[in-house]
Amino acid sequence: MESKSITAHITNRAEIKSGAGEVNCSGSYALIEKVNQYRSEFGTDPTLWPIKAVNDSSDILINEIILKSTNQYAISYSQDELCHCRSVATETVIQTIKQDCHTVKEISRATKAGTGCGTCVPQLRILLSEILRSDLEKI
């Protein structure tokens, strides 16, 4: 059983925490409902939960807590700023994806990332692919 505390969150919106044999969440009715379903189907240890296709932000947070619990969570881009033309932080882009912006166009509209030289657009697509657990060709 995983004992360290692990968190996945959407800033000012929803959070899920795992540790000491428990999973707790707050901030989103949809997230609470899904976590309750996972608990009743698979138990309280998120290392035993299956990764599922992403339909909404709740799925993103649940997948994140599963992947962090099994030491498989990875975001390949490690610099603080992702879009240098528009000074958009990587975390801002990640949070925007978690808040249901699931295309480059939606991210650009929400953050302005990718609206300058376009050099960062391939990295935006990679981040989308990693967070949505989707093939890059489908992004």
> How many residues does this entry show for the chain?
139
Q: Is 116 in the site for ligand FES (CB under 6 A)?
A: yes
**Cα–Cα dist 115/134, whole Å:** 23
Tokens of 72: 């498989």
- Count of CB atoms situated within 10 Å of the CB of 14: 22
CB of 88 to ligand FES, least distance (A): 7
Q: Is 35 in the site for ligand FES (CB under 6 A)?
A: no
One of 21, 33, 52, 118 touching ligand FES (CB under 6 A):
118
Collapsing DSSP to helix, strand or coil, 33 comes out as helix
Per-residue interface string for the shown chain with ligand FES, residues 37-56, x marking contact by CB under 6 A: --------------------
* Three state DSSP letters for 77-129: CCCCEEECCCCEEHHHHHHHHHCCCCCHHHHHHHHCCCCCCCCCHHHHHHHHH
**Cα–Cα dist 55/64, whole Å:** 14
Q: Is 117 in the site for ligand FES (CB under 6 A)?
A: yes
Nearer Cβ to ligand FES (8/83):
83
Q: Is 89 in the site for ligand FES (CB under 6 A)?
A: no
Question: Segment contacting ligand FES (CB under 6 A): 3-11, 99-107, 110-118, 125-133?
Answer: 110-118
Q: Is 110 in the site for ligand FES (CB under 6 A)?
A: no
One of 28, 34, 104, 114 touching ligand FES (CB under 6 A):
114
**List of residues contacting ligand FES (CB under 6 A):** 83-86, 113-120
